[in-house]
Structure 1
Amino acid sequence: MLRKGLIILLLLVLAEVSLLIYIGRLIGPLSTFLLLIISALFGLWTVKRQGLSILQEIRFDLNNRVMPGAALLDGLCLVFGGFLLAVPGFLTDIAGLLILIPRVRSRAVGWISAWIKDRISRGSLTFFTSYRRKR
């Protein structure tokens, strides 16, 4: 599992560097750099704007004594999309922008929820905490 993850990460880095070189040759290095900066700023702005509404939804659920499962997963996807936009590279920018689209993010939340429910029902999901019991 770890080996597959490292191979995928290495392939992603190689693809990102190749794409950066290719686009840098097409539009120039300064334009490429500015495009990466603009995408990172757009991602941060979008995360801030959409994140506030998700925080309000979480507060509403907590005030009504409801576990905010979908809202928490939505927020997690939003933060992950913003992180992908902050990482330099066009492939990660595309993935980050897709995750920031509410319809795509709601589908991702549905897939993640189904995956978690499946793992819980099979008994193959383990949670680790740093909580220590008092004796």
Structure 2
Amino acid sequence: MRKFLMFLILVPIIEICVVLLSGKLIGAFPTLLLIVVTGMLGVYLAKTKGIKAFQQLKIAIERGQAPGDAIIDGVLTFVGSVLLVLPGFISDILGILLVMPATRKLFKPMIYYWLRKKMKKGQIILMQK
């Protein structure tokens, strides 16, 4: 819990510092323009990619396949889109990495590792019919 609290405190401070530095380097208007454009891109991607991920999930379920990859892709894409909507450049960089399929693949092993760890501790239980 302490790590999460430190994360909630440090990330906004770092984001503000990076935005202020960017404003000093490239100017206030270009900085604000970048923040607005990435926010709009995030909203657009959340809508389009979210619908696509839901359709892939539906297709996997209809075929009787485990929708593991479809769910993880959908969640990572959604999280990336939300990060793009948030103001700040660090969140934008992470959001772009999560939205792009080529770089999203780099995050999947970490998610699977985290899920396996939670399952071993009994914090996540899978039920099959």
**Alignment TM-score > 0.5, same fold:** yes
* Structure-1 residue corresponding to 2:45: 46
Larger radius of gyration: 1
Q: Percent identity?
A: 29
Q: Which ranges of structure 1 fall in alignment gaps of 5 or more residues?
A: 129-135
One-letter amino acid of the structure 1 residue matched with residue 108 of structure 2:
V
1:92 aligned partner = 91
- On the 8 A contact 1:78/1:100 being kept in 2, the answer is yes
Segments of 5+ residues of structure 2 without an aligned counterpart are none
What is the match of residue 112 of structure 1? 111
List 4+ stretches of structure 1 deviating above 6 A.
none
Which residue of the partner structure matches residue 132 of structure 1?
none
How many positions carry a matched residue from both structures?
Answer: 125
Q: 1:119–1:126: structure 2 CA closer, same or farther, 3 Å change rule?
A: closer
Q: Is the 8 A contact 2:83 2:94 kept in 1?
A: yes
SS in 1 for 2:123: coil
CA contact (8 A) 1:16 1:90 kept: yes
SS in 1 for 2:16: helix
CA distance in 1, matches of 2:122, 2:69: 18
Superposed CA offset, 1:100-131 (max 9, x none): 110221232232123212332x2x14249xxx
Aligned counterpart, 2:123: 126
Using structure 2 for the length normalisation, give the TM-score.
Answer: 0.85
Please tell me the root mean square deviation across aligned C-alpha atoms, in Å.
1.8
Matched, 1:77 2:72: no
